[in-house]
């Protein structure tokens, strides 16, 4: 139970005691936290749909999504974009990741992610709205198996003690949550794996490894990718 609460404390704004003992075991519960977010978002869409036009409803869902997660991963998007796309040395890019100020690449990346999520939510189906946060948080566990860019920080705290068993448990948890969606879940999962792998490889090429901000970016981009895929080839 402590590990599940630790996962909730890390990934959401749930009023849970922050002094919990964090460990890599919490990774196994990341997809379950994603499922809770998905249930809340689906419930909000069902309740609010009769009262608002599609674009207003989409904006409200984007706002709720950011609120529930404390905009944690959106912050990762802006920091990661500033570092990954800067014309600089690897060492300088790692310094940019620590800089609290937002640059042009960070602002652009954040705007693009929010616009894509908003546009997708204007017509997305309920299944994809549930699948996106589940698979995005599983993708963070998958990404944690890649090399680290530095030996300190929250990413190192988790990834250093991550084992194949924890990755397997997270995968089984995600599988149990999405298996009922059949081929839609298969397509969404393949999308998540492809996107997470490409972003992780790009981060390794630019930074020498992954950081907590990169995990956050992977989470957000996978969410958007699953939503967009559900509007495209996954439902054709």
**Whose CA is closest to 191, among 233, 236, 151?**
233
| 103 Rama class: left (phi>0) / alpha (psi -120 to 50) / beta | beta
What confidence score (pLDDT) does residue 19 get? 46
- Res. 4 pLDDT band, cuts 50 70 90: confident
Find the mean pLDDT for residues 73-100: 86
Burial per residue of 40-53, b for 16 or more beta-carbon CB atoms within 10 angstroms, e otherwise? ebbebbeeeeeeee
pLDDT on residue 1: 67
Sorted by where each begins, the domain ranges of the chain are: 2-235
* Strand intervals (E) in the chain: none
**29/174 Cα distance (integer angstroms):** 9
Q: How far apart are CA 142 and CA 124, in angstroms?
A: 25
With H, G, I as helix, E, B as strand and everything else as coil, classify residue 87.
Answer: coil
Confidence band of 18 (pLDDT split at 50, 70, 90): low
Whether the pLDDT of residue 113 is over 80: the answer is yes
* Residue 32 C-alpha from the chain's centroid: 13
- pTM confidence score: 0.92
Task: Give the integer Cα–Cα distance in Å for 11 and 8.
Answer: 5
Residue 147 confidence (pLDDT) above 50: yes
């Amino acid at each position: 139970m402590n590990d599940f609460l630790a996962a909730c404390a890390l990934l959401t704004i749930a009023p849970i005691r922050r002094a919990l003992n964090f460990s890599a075991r919490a990774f196994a519960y990341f997809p379950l936290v994603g499922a809770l977010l998905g249930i809340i978002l689906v419930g909000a869409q069902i309740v609010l749909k009769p009262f608002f036009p599609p674009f207003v409803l989409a904006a409200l869902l984007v706002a709720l999504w950011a609120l529930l997660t404390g905009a944690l991963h959106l912050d990762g998007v802006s920091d990661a974009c500033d570092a990954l796309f800067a014309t600089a040395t690897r060492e300088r890019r790692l310094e940019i990741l620590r800089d609290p100020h937002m640059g042009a690449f960070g602002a652009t990346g954040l705007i693009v992610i929010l616009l894509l999520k908003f546009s997708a939510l204007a017509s997305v189906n309920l299944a994809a709205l549930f699948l996106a946060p589940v698979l995005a948080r599983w993708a963070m566990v998958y990404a944690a198996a890649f090399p680290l860019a530095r030996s300190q920080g929250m990413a190192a705290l988790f990834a250093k003690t991550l084992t194949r068993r924890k990755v397997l448990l997270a995968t089984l948890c995600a599988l149990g949550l999405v298996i009922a969606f059949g081929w839609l879940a298969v397509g969404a999962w393949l999308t998540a794996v492809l996107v997470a792998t490409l972003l992780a490889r790009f981060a390794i090429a630019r930074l020498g490894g992954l950081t907590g901000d990169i995990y956050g970016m992977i989470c957000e981009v996978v969410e958007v990718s699953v939503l967009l895929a559900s509007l495209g080839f996954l439902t054709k």
